[in-house]
Amino acid sequence: MSNVTVEQVAEAQAIAPIVCVQNMYNLAYRHDDELIDRLAEEGVAYVPFFPLGGFTPPQSSTLSAVAERLDTTPMSVALAWLLRRSPNILLIPGTSSVAHLRENVAGAGLSLSDKDFGQLDRIGR
Ligand SMILES: NC(=O)c1ccc[n+]([C@@H]2O[C@H](COP(=O)([O-])OP(=O)(O)OC[C@H]3O[C@@H](n4cnc5c(N)ncnc54)[C@H](OP(=O)(O)O)[C@@H]3O)[C@@H](O)[C@H]2O)c1
């Protein structure tokens, strides 16, 4: 299912098993926080579209500071935050640039400390 509300997911689940939900979600846009937690408990995948904000990548001094500390880029950190956010989150960041592709793949190899995760978490809360 894509572009759905919490209510629509519940309605669909009463009709058929749902395996994956794709909605807009990223470090700064956190409308689906509750839905993601509920789907994780149910073993349903969640694929955030615009994981990097689409045409307006997230900018934040916290994001930049964490990236500097880890000697990486803000976009790698933004993706690492999503991967740590919940085990049911699967990422498909789109790019037309090989440099960005490398940066995005690097996000999967980053491990954020609890402190960094917490600071990043507060950006969109
Ligand atoms: N279900 C839906 O309604 C829906 C809606 C939108 C998208 N989607 C899907 O969701 C997936 C992800 O969406 P998306 O690719 O549009 O969103 P996205 O990954 O958040 O954003 C893509 C944009 O970010 C830029 N970008 C990518 N990596 C970057 C980086 N490391 N640094 C700076 N800019 C970067 C890209 O430009 P460059 O090309 O210059 O890197 C492009 O402009 C896609 O598979 C898409 O088809 C679904």
Query: Is the distance from CB of 113 to CB of 84 less than 8 angstroms?
Result: no
What rounded mean pLDDT belongs to the chain? 95
How large is the greatest C-alpha to C-alpha distance in the chain, in angstroms?
48
* Exposure string over 19-50, b if 16+ CB within 10 A, otherwise e: eebbbebbbebeebeebbebbbeeebebbbeb
Q: For residue 90, what pLDDT is reported?
A: 97
What pLDDT does residue 29 have?
94
Name the CA radius of gyration of the chain, rounded. 15
Single pTM value for the model? 0.94
Q: How much distance in Å is there from the Cα of 67 to the middle of ligand 1?
A: 20
pLDDT tens digits, 13-68: 999 999 999 999 999 999 999 999 999 999 999 999 999 988 778 788 999 999 99
- Does ligand 1 come within 6 angstroms of the Cβ of 50? yes
Is the shortest distance between the CB of 2 and ligand 1 below 6 Å?
yes
pLDDT band at 4 (very low <50, low <70, confident <90, very high): very high
Mutate to test the pocket of ligand 1, among 55, 81, 95 (most ligand atoms within 8 A of CB): 95
Fold of 6-121: TIM Barrel (3.20.20)
pLDDT at 57: 80
> Which pLDDT belongs to residue 103?
95
60 φ, ψ (degrees, to nearest 5) = -160, 145
Q: Is 107 in the pocket of ligand 1 (CB under 6 A)?
A: no
- Enumerate the domain spans of the chain: 6-121
